[in-house]
Structures are given as C-alpha cells and as structure tokens.
Chains A and B, each alone.
Chain A
Amino acid sequence: MLMAGLLLAPLAAPGDDTLGALLDALATERATTLAFEERRDDPMLEFPEIQSGSLAFEPPDTLVRKVDGPRGETVHIEGDTLTLERRGSSREIDLNEQPALATLTGLFRALLTGDRETLETDFEIDITGDMDAWTLELVPRDRALRRMVPELTLKGAGDELRELVTIEAGGHQSHMRFDPPQYTD
C-alpha cells in the first residue's frame, strides 16, 4: 500500500493546476439552471439584439437552452438528439450529423461533468487568472468548427460561470452574462 502510494504520488494533480481545480469546482451532480442575458452584435443587423433566457443542466447529460421573447426558442439536447422548438413548431437534429453542434454541446457537458479529456481533445485551452477570477479561452481544434467559431471565452469566479463570449466568422458575436446558479432539485 505504502509503495503504491509513493509511486502514484507524482501522478496526482499538482497544486497549480487551475484547470483541474476549475473543472472540479464547476462539475455538478445536481440539476442546475443559469439565467442569462445575451447580446448579439451582428454586422447584418441595424441594432444589437438583446435577449434573455436560461440554460439548464439535468444530470447525466440533458441541456436545455431557453430564450424568451418574440424570437424565442428552446433547444433541448438529450443524448445525441437535439430538439429545436420555435413558435410552436419543432425540429429534431441528430448531433451525429452536425459535428460542430456536437462539439459545442460536448463543451458544456464536459464543463458540467468535469470531463477534462473531452475538453482537451476538442479545444486548445488557455487559462488565466486564479480561482477567484478566471478566464478560459477555448479555440476549437477541428478546422471546420474553427472556421465557423474561431474562439470562445468563458469568465467566472469560483464555481460560478459569469460570462460567455462567442466569436463567429463573418463578424457575428454573442456575449452572454449569467446570473448565479439556481439549483432546481
């Protein structure tokens, strides 16, 4: 036992592993809902678009993104199936046929379940700050996805996600601000 412990010791997470600590903090086994406000700056639009909504996670892997208002929509992702509801009609998408969407879905699932391997395989990760004020910059490794979404930036404090900035090709940009989490179970 002692020998085994000694041998394993160097493999354990070093103290300055912020990503490890961050993933430990973000991971949850509880149903969680985050309210957000999204601002889209888009070169095609006259005015920036501001919408509010919520992002919910239900273990093990269900994600629901709800947006209120006239252009509201609900995106429900369970397993490999994404269901989009908008103005009373719904559309199902097989994530296996949409690699880009699958990777983005995988990102959120990985953050919420502490799946570091998936995160590091899909993205180049740059982490700055400390646990009290961290910034996570993610660049997709897949070329096709990187062309569409060159960069994602997440900011937060401790186990709370505060901001998500998504830069898209063609100058489209989304800026989401999150309220503190509400536990729904």
Chain B
Amino acid sequence: MRRPYSSRAALALWLAALLLATLTLALRGELVTDLQGFAPDPISADGVALDPGAGPAGRMLLLAIEGGDSRERAAASDALVAALKEAPEVAGIQNGRLDPDDPALDFLIEHRYLLSPRVDAEHFSEGRLREHLKDRRDDLASAVPELPRELIPRDPTAETRAVLERLAAGSGHATTGPEGVWVSPDRDRALLILRSAAEGMDLDAQAALIEHTRASFSEHADTGLRLQIAGPAVIAVESRATIRGEVTWITAGASLALAVLLLAVFRHPHPVWLAAVPLASGILIAAAVVTLVFGHLHGIALAFGITVLGIALDYPLHLFAHAQRAGGERPDGGDLSQIARELWPAIALGAGSTVLVFALMAMTGFSGMAQLGLFVLTGVAVAAVTTRWILPLLIPTRLQREGLPPLRLPLPAGLARPPAITRWGVALLALAAMVVVANTAPFPWEDRLSALHPVPEEQVALDQQLRSALGLPDVRHALLITGASPEQVLRASEALTPGLESLREAGALGGFAHAADVLPSQAVQRERQAALPEPGLLRERLEAARARLGFRDGAFEPFLRDIETARQQERLTPETLPDGPLRHALNPLLQPRDGGAGWIAWVRLQGVHDAEALARWAAAAPLAATPGFDAVGVRHIDFFRASEDLVSGFRDEALQRLALGLVAVALLLLAATRAPGRSLRILTAVGTGLLLTLAALILLGIQLSLFHLIALLLITGLCLDYAVFFSRPLRDAAARLRNLRSVSVCALSTLVVFGLLSLSSLPVLQAIGLTVVLGVVFSFLAAALLAPEVIRRDTA
C-alpha cells in the first residue's frame, strides 16, 4: 500500500523536526544547573548575585583525615597540600602549617608596619619602646621566648606576630596539633581547608574537584587513613548523585512496569513502544525550542518539564484503546488514521487547554518558570500532533488492517454507569475538601531549599563538626558592602568596625572579619606611615629605651632600617598584593562587581545568635552619620532567606499563573465546544480533582513544597484530559465503554509510573509520586462521576 502524498509529507516534516532538534541540542545545547538561572531576576542584593553557593563560604571544602596516628595524619595532610596547591581547579589549600620559607611570609614581614592594627603615634613613644625592649631582653634569656629570637633585631615591638594573629583570626581559629597542622579538638583528625576556583554551585566542577581530591589522597596517603570531605558543594553534589541514581532505577523500573501493563492490556507488542513516540518527540523538540529561545536549558526546568510531560503519554493510549477490533472484527471506526481523526477534537481540546495554562507560565519574567512553561507547552503540542498525524503511519499495515486485539481491562460496571448517589458523594467530598483547604492556616508551605535536597544526616553533621572545629564563619549570614572603589568599601569596612564590635559585645554575634582586617584602606595605611617616627627621633628614643638592659650598640639597626623603609614604602592595594596568604584571605572578601563598575566587600560573621538585631542594625544605615559614604550600601544578607524567597516567589507566581490559566481554559472550552454545560463539567472535574488532592495532602500532614506544586500542574493537565474525554457527547454504549477504557488505561499507566516514584526514599521523588497518585485517583473519579448521564434510549 502506497501512502498518500500528505502522509509522506507529514512523516518527512516530523523526521526533519526531530533531526533539527537533535542538531540544535548537539550544537547549542547547554544544560545549566545553578539556581541563579532559575530565579526571577538573579537573586541579588544591589546587583550582586546571591546564589546560596556564591557567598564566601560556598567555595570551601572542609577536609578531615582520620585513622592512623597523629604523625601519619599530619604527613598525609602535608602531602595533600603539596599535591593540590598547584592544581588549576584549586584556588587555595591550607592545613595550618606556615611554610617558613614561603616568600609570602617575607612580604608580610616587610609590610608589617602598614598592616599591623597596633601602629599609631603612641606606639613608638619612648615609654612603649622601653616596655617592648624589656620583654625582648627577657626573650633573649628565656627558654620560652615570646617572639622568635631571630626576629628581635628587626621587630622588637613584635608587629609580625600582631599581623599574623590578625590574619589567622580572619580565616578561622582552628587548633594546631603537635605536628604543626590543624586538628579537630579531640585531635583524632587532621583538618584542611580547600577553596575551589569554580563557583560553589557549579556542581560539575565541584564534583570533579572532589574526585580529584580523593584521587590525590589515595595516591599520597598511607592505607589505613581515610579522607572525609564536607562543605556546601559536597552536599549539593551528593544529593544530585543520589537523585540521579534513584531516578535512574525508578525510571528503569517504571518503564518496565509500564511496558508490562501495556502489554497485558493491549495484548500486542506494538502499542508498547509506539506509546513512547509522541512523548519522546515532545521532549526532544521541547528541549530544542527552549534552548533556541533562552540560549540554554535549565536542568530543573528539564526535570520538572519531563515530569509534567507525563500527560503526553495519554494521547497515544487513547488512540490504541480506541483501535481494538470489536469481537474479532475490524474496529467500527475504520483504520487508525480514521480513529485519530475522530479522537482529535478531544485530544486537541485537552492538549489545547494544557498548552494554554503553560503558555501563561511561559510569559512570566521568572526565567525558570518561563522555561518550564515553554517546555511543557511545546512538548504537549508536539505529542498531540505526533499522535494525530504521525503515529497512525508508524503502525504496521497488517495491524492497521486487523486492528488491535480487544483490551484486557476488567472494569467495575459501576464506573460505566455511576449511580446518582456517588455524584452527591463527590460533591460532598469536594465541599469538605474546600473546608479543609480554606481552614488550613498557616498554609503548610515548605520553602526551605534544604528540605528539598536529600541530604544525608551524617553529611550535615560532618559539615557542622568540621566548620566549628575550623572556626569558620557562618554560612548563612554575612554583611555586604557595595561601593565605587576598593578604597571606598575598605574604608566602609573600617568604619563599621565599632558598630560590629558593640553587636559582638551585646552577644548578637560571636565574631566578625572583614577585608580591611587583611588589607587596610589607603587612608589607614597613610595614617600608619605618618605615625612612624622619623629616623633621628626614633634613634634617640631607642637609645634611651635600651639603657641598662644589656643590649649591644647597634643591636637594633635592622629595626631602624625597617621603620625608615616603611615610611617611604609604596602602600598596598588589592591589585599589587602578591599571591600568598594575604591574597588568599582577601580575595573571598573583596571583589570587583560582576559586569559593572563598583566593588563589593563582605563582612564574615561568626556565631550569629541574634539575626534580627543584626538585620536591624544593618537596615538602620550604620554609615549614614559618617561623611563620604553616601554611595556606599551596607546590607545584611541571609543566604537561606534568599533561597527561601526564591522558592516562595516561584510558588506564588506559579499559583497565580495556574489560576489565570484556568480562567483562560474556561474561555477556551466555551469557545471550542460552544457547550456551556460541558465546559462547566470539565472545569468542575478539574477543580474537584485538584481540591481533593490538596486536601488529602494537607490531611496527611505533608509540608507542601515546590515539588508538590509541580505535581499539581501535572494533575491539572491529566484531569483536563480525563474530563474532556469523559464529557464527550457519545451516543452509543460501545463507544462510551471504549471511552471509559481508554481513560482507564491512561490513568492506570500514570498510576504505575508515579506509584513507583512514591516508593522512593528521596523526599523530592516521593512528593511528586504521592501527589500524582492521589491526583490521578481523584481526578479520574471526579471526571468519571461528572460525565453526562447515559442516554438510556441508545443502550436499549
């Protein structure tokens, strides 16, 4: 049998579209996984991106080595530093050991008078010098000198120590063990801090780095030692891997179960694989379209989109369910193309309504939701069109001619002719559900992003343990300072110090560190230089101060030389700082703004006990009274809040769009069917299905997350489909029965897939699975019971 010209054209078009989509994805496909791309506008404060992983803490990996004895652990710690410090993906790795030969240490000593917070005019008075020289004289005789004896000629006032202490305070306060490396308080573990070059939420890069770190460790460390890695990136990478693993096996299991179900129902192999064709075409083309429109495809939009596209599986099932031969004869409706043409109004109405809902979502400014909307609407449209025009052509000619065997699908008789009382039952249930939903206050929304991640408890515990052992700053709170130049934000950091100090004294926070601790502003450096006495004066004071202490003449010439050098010294700027501990400490705290003029500085906070007091203080413009800071912004940033705002923003927007969408769907139904009664039935069924699902979730005591919402979107689409089919004005009983069977097959297959999902141990998958299962049951019942009355005359 030669296919007609139009069929060949349709096939060619379809194949060309698939090819183009594949090419688009192969050439331009970019899967983005950071949250930033999913946000309405980038989550930001004053234009500074606030990805939960982008704060100063997000790039940090905390490493712990355990097992063996303390020496072995220290050796492994040193070996790991040596192996990783030059790696391009590592911005820095520290284990607490100060390298005595590090040129950066010399740089620090050379610039100590610019960096030391103690330098002021009083600092080099004769009286103070005398006190310092007495201490140094004791150091010369002592078994336990306060300052290393070799530094005494250069640095009798111990400025080096002050600078090192200041630097160490900013980067945490870990315990150093007897072997000279950081250890946990119980000394059973050696600790290291690794900072990645990549963004904290660049999960592929983080996963590679974690892998590389483990490989280096097993290469260099003795057997018997174990490496533990913690940090926000580890948690994110692990939860992603867990989700992937579980999704993989559940998908495989669900596909298998679905195949078995379809095989059992249709009693023929072809419908099993053909059912996947519209769905697969939809996913492929939708992914390509989103990529073309947005320039990339967000991983979350893809995952959610594929979930919601589950509706697309229904279209081919409707087709097959209607294509069975009745009692060994050819189906009444003729060949499959004929059946597809007959079903098209119903499929088009259901798909069209779904497309409308998601078109409204696609038009939001919320980039992630716009992607999801476009993905689903494209996918649904493609799947519907594929079912209508392509699928009949793919079915082998013999099967076309003979039709499919009768469905093996026993259905309770009550479903075909529901007793009137059940309708009242549904109405009552819907009313009760409305009461439940309306009376639930506060609504149990779950906005914490962490609640969505399947984070293993022990991983969180390890993170907290290591974080507190290393004295690292709070991952949640920070202050953000924005200004025009590095000098301005550094001066602002200095000006904020007294305020922060009083917050600390009031117990609102445990401690703080800012960029000016590492690199003082030019103004402060200039003040310090001005405070250094000129050579003649200093020599005079020094001579007087060292009297009768037994120091040799000229013992402090190196000190006099160093002070004179410091007076003339070029002041330090962020740009001229060499690589080394100073730069490592400064970089995370002081950065030029992304893609724009201006600079930002972070204030790290430790042990925030009273976040509200902190926020109040920051909101009250603590710099307003100080002149010169008009254009400087100071903000308290709560990274968790930022991500919670993202989630709740997404949720509110999605709900709004859903409501708007249903109104639009009502208009569409009315216009398309020109039957107000049928439109009302469909809308009531959808409303009832959603309401019952929501009430059931609330009664089960479930906190509703983003994932429940995504599931509700899918249910909306499914319920639209069921209700459209159930409300078809069919006259003869056989057609009605076929119709019922068709919807039942769809509902059953969705139940199988999402039922398996609800068995998952992961909260995300469980949420989606359970919600869809509930939704399918309620939608099916609502749609079936709200179907028009059987017209007795025809069945008789």
Q: Which residues of A contact B (CB under 8 A)?
A: 40, 42-47, 49, 51, 65, 67, 71, 73, 75, 80, 82, 84, 86, 93, 95-97, 99, 101-103, 106, 121, 142-144, 147-148, 168-170, 172
Contacts of A82 in B (CB 8 A): 144
User: Whole-angstrom distance from the CB of B169 to the nearest CB of chain A?
Assistant: 14
A75 near B140: Cβ-Cβ < 8 Å: no
Pick 12 A–B contacts, CB within 8 A, sort by A.
A46-B550, A71-B142, A73-B138, A73-B143, A75-B143, A82-B144, A96-B178, A101-B144, A106-B178, A170-B149, A172-B149, A172-B150
Report which of B138, B142, B143, B552 forms a contact with A45, defined as CB distance below 8 A: B552
Contacts of A42 in B (CB 8 A): 140
Size band of the interface chain B makes with A: 20 to 34
Contacts of A47 in B (CB 8 A): 550
If A43-B552, A97-B176, A102-B178 touch, whether A65 touches B143 (CB-CB below 8 Å) is: yes
Report which of B100, B138, B149, B187 forms a contact with A86, defined as CB distance below 8 A: B138
Q: Which residues of B contact A (CB under 8 A)?
A: 71, 97-101, 137-138, 140-144, 148-150, 152-153, 175-180, 183, 187, 550-553, 555
User: Whole-angstrom distance from the CB of B148 to the nearest CB of chain A?
Assistant: 6
A45 near B187: Cβ-Cβ < 8 Å: no
A121 near B71: Cβ-Cβ < 8 Å: yes
User: Whole-angstrom distance from the CB of A38 to the nearest CB of chain B?
Assistant: 9
If A148-B150, A168-B149, A170-B153 touch, whether A40 touches B179 (CB-CB below 8 Å) is: no
Contacts of B183 in A (CB 8 A): 96
CB-based nearest A residue for B148:
A148
A40 near B141: Cβ-Cβ < 8 Å: yes
Contacts of A121 in B (CB 8 A): 71
In the docked arrangement, what's the CA distance between A4 and B192, Å?
45
Contacts of B98 in A (CB 8 A): 144
With A65-B143, A93-B144, A99-B180 given, can you name 11 additional A-B contacts, CB distance below 8 Å?
A44-B552, A46-B551, A49-B140, A71-B138, A71-B142, A73-B138, A96-B175, A102-B178, A143-B100, A168-B150, A172-B150
In the docked arrangement, what's the CA distance between A90 and B611, Å?
39
Task: Pick from B98, B149, B553 the residue with the most CB of A within 10 Å.
Answer: B149
Contacts of B176 in A (CB 8 A): 96-97, 99
CB-based nearest A residue for B142:
A73
In the docked arrangement, what's the CA distance between A147 and B143, Å?
17
B141 near A95: Cβ-Cβ < 8 Å: no
CB-based nearest A residue for B144:
A84
B178 near A95: Cβ-Cβ < 8 Å: yes
CB-based nearest B residue for A44:
B555
Contacts of A169 in B (CB 8 A): 148-150
Report which of A80, A99, A143, A170 forms a contact with B179, defined as CB distance below 8 A: A99
Contacts of A73 in B (CB 8 A): 138, 141-144
If A170-B149, A170-B153 touch, whether A44 touches B551 (CB-CB below 8 Å) is: yes
User: Whole-angstrom distance from the CB of A92 to the nearest CB of chain B?
Assistant: 11
In the docked arrangement, what's the CA distance between A46 and B547, Å?
12
In the docked arrangement, what's the CA distance between A172 and B101, Å?
20
CB-based nearest B residue for A94:
B175
In the docked arrangement, what's the CA distance between A121 and B550, Å?
39
User: Whole-angstrom distance from the CB of A102 to the nearest CB of chain B?
Assistant: 4
In the docked arrangement, what's the CA distance between A102 and B181, Å?
13
A44 near B140: Cβ-Cβ < 8 Å: yes
Contacts of A75 in B (CB 8 A): 143-144
What DSSP secondary structure best describes chain B's contact surface? loop
In the docked arrangement, what's the CA distance between A50 and B149, Å?
18
Contacts of B141 in A (CB 8 A): 40, 49, 51, 67, 71, 73
In the docked arrangement, what's the CA distance between A42 and B552, Å?
9
In the docked arrangement, what's the CA distance between A45 and B149, Å?
12
In the docked arrangement, what's the CA distance between A147 and B151, Å?
12
CB-based nearest A residue for B136:
A44
User: Whole-angstrom distance from the CB of B233 to the nearest CB of chain A?
Assistant: 30
The 4 closest A-B pairs by CB, nearest first: A170-B150, A99-B180, A169-B150, A71-B141
In the docked arrangement, what's the CA distance between A47 and B71, Å?
42
Contacts of B100 in A (CB 8 A): 143-144, 147
CB-based nearest B residue for A147:
B100
Report which of B140, B143, B175 forms a contact with A172, defined as CB distance below 8 A: B140
A97 near B71: Cβ-Cβ < 8 Å: no
Task: Pick from B99, B144, B179, B552 the residue with the most CB of A within 10 Å.
Answer: B144
User: Whole-angstrom distance from the CB of A131 to the nearest CB of chain B?
Assistant: 29
User: Whole-angstrom distance from the CB of B89 to the nearest CB of chain A?
Assistant: 27
Task: Pick from A46, A65, A93 the residue with the most CB of B within 10 Å.
Answer: A46
Task: Pick from B100, B141, B152, B555 the residue with the most CB of A within 10 Å.
Answer: B141
In the docked arrangement, what's the CA distance between A111 and B180, Å?
22
In the docked arrangement, what's the CA distance between A144 and B153, Å?
19
In the docked arrangement, what's the CA distance between A70 and B71, Å?
40
User: Whole-angstrom distance from the CB of B554 to the nearest CB of chain A?
Assistant: 10
CB-based nearest B residue for A84:
B144
A99 near B143: Cβ-Cβ < 8 Å: no
In the docked arrangement, what's the CA distance between A10 and B199, Å?
59
User: Whole-angstrom distance from the CB of B138 to the nearest CB of chain A?
Assistant: 6
Contacts of B138 in A (CB 8 A): 71, 73, 86
CB-based nearest B residue for A72:
B141
Report which of B150, B153, B177, B550 forms a contact with A96, defined as CB distance below 8 A: B177
Contacts of A49 in B (CB 8 A): 140-141, 550
Contacts of B99 in A (CB 8 A): 143
CB-based nearest B residue for A148:
B148
Contacts of B550 in A (CB 8 A): 45-47, 49
B152 near A144: Cβ-Cβ < 8 Å: no
User: Whole-angstrom distance from the CB of A100 to the nearest CB of chain B?
Assistant: 8
User: Whole-angstrom distance from the CB of A45 to the nearest CB of chain B?
Assistant: 5
A99 near B178: Cβ-Cβ < 8 Å: yes
Task: Pick from B101, B153, B179 the residue with the most CB of A within 10 Å.
Answer: B179
Contacts of A84 in B (CB 8 A): 142, 144
B175 near A97: Cβ-Cβ < 8 Å: yes
In the docked arrangement, what's the CA distance between A168 and B98, Å?
19
User: Whole-angstrom distance from the CB of B22 to the nearest CB of chain A?
Assistant: 59
Report which of B71, B143, B152 forms a contact with A44, defined as CB distance below 8 A: B152
Contacts of B148 in A (CB 8 A): 148, 169
A45 near B179: Cβ-Cβ < 8 Å: no
In the docked arrangement, what's the CA distance between A147 and B483, Å?
44
Contacts of A142 in B (CB 8 A): 180
Contacts of B144 in A (CB 8 A): 73, 75, 82, 84, 93, 101
In the docked arrangement, what's the CA distance between A142 and B152, Å?
22
In the docked arrangement, what's the CA distance between A40 and B141, Å?
8
In the docked arrangement, what's the CA distance between A169 and B153, Å?
12
User: Whole-angstrom distance from the CB of A141 to the nearest CB of chain B?
Assistant: 11
